[in-house]
Structure 1
Amino acid sequence: MTWRIGLLVLLFSVATLGVGLWIDYQRFLETPVGVPSSEPYLEIPRGTSLRALSDRMAREGILDQPYYFIALAYLEGAQRRIKAGEYALRPSVTPRELLDAMTAGKGVQFAITLIEGRTFRQALAVIDAHEQFGGDALSLLSDAELMAKLGRPGEHPEGRFFPDTYHFPRKAKGLDVLERALERMDQVLAEEWSDREPGLPFDTPYEALILASIIEKETAVQQERPAIGGVFVRRLERGMKLQTDPTVIYGMGERYDGNIRRADLREPTPYNTYVIQGLPPTPIALPGRAAIHAALHPAEGEALYFVARGDGSHVFSSTLAEHQQAVRRYILNKGG
């Protein structure tokens, strides 16, 4: 009889301990994690094991029971699904919510957008103005210094960076954004070049990039880009000067005050397409994929001229007489 009583006492003790552990485990799940005052972020390097992560969080005061976190991960089937990254530690986050963020890869991410049609220097100003990159001061570096840092010494930076929205971790540098944009442009340009129309009047992807940058600056109306591309391609094929104002403006640099004068159109800069034959030496802005596609897939037709209507769209003409009439109507306001 005594052994039965002893067994009952043992079973009761085990059950009581189990209930206590379960209650303590539930308390752990509902209690927000600790947030170190010095660094409210948790960085998980690639290859970190669940055990090493749990022990580290315990040492840093984020968890009070690392074994409970390990148990939670196994119960959730997440022991091998935790992703490297940097995660924000907010006072309200529970261990389960933190684990969910880790398995979903929802780490701290900031975003920056490089806009189509902006120049390289304007893109640098956007990066320098971002709260994460204010101390990088990329704008203070010369073009040559920046391209050397990116492993592309001797290349002109204009047009080389793909305009898009980029997400990056908290400790990223402005140079990291440029590197990603540079690689992205290489990829997009290679893809578009491989699928180009035959018989185009230029021989290299870089020349296509130059033309794409001009198309980008000439119109923001996506449907018009192939037509604009068609005009410029036909002009190149016929040996006509491109005569496009955005290249003149780019060549003027900081002297441009919003107006192009007759003297500016006659000034022999490398970018004045009213003076030079063919394409300018470099792109004049950051072209997007649609502009690159338009340069490599120009619309068919006979148009050799276009003029802005004033609403963002353009009128296309096949002859100089038609073009002059459109100029009188839309630019000089003399009517039809």
Structure 2
Amino acid sequence: MSGGWFDRLRARRGRLLALVAALVVLGLLAGALQVQRLLDRPLNLPPEGLTFEVPPGSSVGQLATRLAEQGVLDAPRLFVVYARVSGYAPRLKAGEYRLATGTSARALLEQWAAGRVVLYDLTLVEGWTFREAFAAVQAHPKLRATLAGLDEATIMARLGHPGEHPEGRFFPDTYRFAAGTTDLEFLGRAYRTMQQRLDEVWTRRRSDLPLASPDEVLILASIIEKETAVPEERRRVAGVFVRRLARGMPLQTDPTVIYGLGERYDGRLKSADLRSDTPYNTYTRRGLPPTPIALPGLAALAAAVDPLPGDELYFVARGDGGHVFSATLEEHNRHVRDYLQRQRSAP
């Protein structure tokens, strides 16, 4: 009798415990589902989205508080707990982030941990001088200036290349970078890119070139860059210069004279300028000038190591961006007279 009662009591207790356990599990599942909904629900972002900065050294708690104060995050404590439990908290990377409409709390943590920051663009233009390139770098609002006011020698020393002239050493291209990148980091990247491109074309150079080093290729490429913007003319211009170098003839190229004049150049090259001797005057001095005169692009570098064969030794501008090429001085002088006549008759 008593044994049957005890068995019934034990069975009832077992059913009660099972019921309690089931209720606990259901509660946990409901709580977990609620947490999942909160983590995957879109944040309260404006229609145009939001740019949000994660400063270096920020904790996930500080970031959650800022988001809550801006009305973006509804459950900051849950956000912090999940970030710590899931392992995201110690992986957050500093930077500027773009929060697009529809972004959830979970997706935001993934974005921070992956470091998918906003990237900005800056283009260094083919044919720019170092001064022009440096001014563009200093003017970009998202690059952090650390080199402002320094002279060129100090800048090159900071880049790890003391004693090297900066002209032509930075590859013209469009570069993407995160906010807070320093001007030193940006220039270092452009410098390394130029070295890589120069090394690549140097390995493909023609064996009979009168160029003794990659630096001489860089100098010639910079002259080609300034002489013509017509793609199909680059190798032809390179051919003229290479043949003149091989024969010991002066290059007689106006862009080097202009570069040597510096601030004395007033926009019009005069006969007296061609006679004014500077290290860059290729009318008064034979061979290449001592440094590049601008930033050459990849096409100009490639033309310098693979000039077009032929017998042309002269060229003169047509007035429309292109040039007329000649093999003899007599022919060249005739083209020069034609060009001057067109200039005089122009409005």
Q: Provide TM-score, normalisation by structure 1.
A: 0.84
Deviation at 1:134, TM superposition (A): 7.0
Residue 322 (1) aligns with residue 335 (2): no
Residue 213 (1) aligns with residue 222 (2): yes
Q: 1:42·1:89 contact (CA, 8 Å) conserved in 2? A: no
Match in the other structure for 2:129: 119
Residue 97 (1) aligns with residue 107 (2): yes
Deviation at 1:321, TM superposition (A): 2.2
Deviation at 1:104, TM superposition (A): 6.0
- Which amino acid in the other structure matches residue 60 of structure 2? M
Residue 292 (1) aligns with residue 337 (2): no
Residue 22 (1) aligns with residue 25 (2): no
Residue 58 (1) aligns with residue 70 (2): no
Check 1:327–1:100 CA distance in 2 against 1; reply closer, same or farther (3 A cut).
Answer: farther
Deviation at 1:59, TM superposition (A): 4.8
Match in the other structure for 1:49: none
Q: 1:120·1:158 contact (CA, 8 Å) conserved in 2? A: yes
Q: 2:171·2:194 contact (CA, 8 Å) conserved in 1? A: yes
SS at match of 1:4: helix
2: distance between equivalents of 1:151 and 1:306? 40
Residue 164 (1) aligns with residue 176 (2): no
Q: 1:118·1:285 contact (CA, 8 Å) conserved in 2? A: yes
Match in the other structure for 1:68: 82
SS at match of 2:118: coil
Deviation at 1:136, TM superposition (A): 4.0
Q: 1:144·1:153 contact (CA, 8 Å) conserved in 2? A: yes
Q: Deviations over 1:146-173 (max 9, x none)?
A: 1111111111111111111222222221
Among candidates 6, 9, 19, match of residue 8 of structure 1: 19
Q: 2:172·2:295 contact (CA, 8 Å) conserved in 1? A: yes
Q: 2:315·2:325 contact (CA, 8 Å) conserved in 1? A: yes
Deviates more, 1:256-265 or 1:171-180: 171-180
| Aligned sequence identity (%) | 47
Greater C-alpha radius of gyration: 2
1: distance between equivalents of 2:173 and 2:108? 30
SS at match of 2:316: strand
1: distance between equivalents of 2:277 and 2:133? 27
- Which amino acid in the other structure matches residue 109 of structure 1? L
Check 1:68–1:31 CA distance in 2 against 1; reply closer, same or farther (3 A cut).
Answer: farther
Q: 1:210·1:279 contact (CA, 8 Å) conserved in 2? A: yes
Deviates more, 1:120-129 or 1:14-23: 14-23
- Which amino acid in the other structure matches residue 116 of structure 1? E
Deviates more, 1:276-285 or 1:21-30: 21-30
1: distance between equivalents of 2:100 and 2:201? 48
SS at match of 1:306: strand
Q: Deviations over 1:170-216 (max 9, x none)?
A: 22211111111111111111111111110111211111111010000
Check 1:124–1:326 CA distance in 2 against 1; reply closer, same or farther (3 A cut).
Answer: same
Instruction: Give the aligned length.
Output: 314
Deviation at 1:84, TM superposition (A): 5.3
2: distance between equivalents of 1:255 and 1:273? 17
Q: Deviations over 1:52-102 (max 9, x none)?
A: x9xx313542653245347778xxxxx8xx795634264954224324535
Deviation at 1:28, TM superposition (A): 2.3
1: distance between equivalents of 2:111 and 2:333? 62
Among candidates 41, 52, 56, match of residue 53 of structure 2: 41
Among candidates 282, 305, 321, match of residue 312 of structure 1: 321
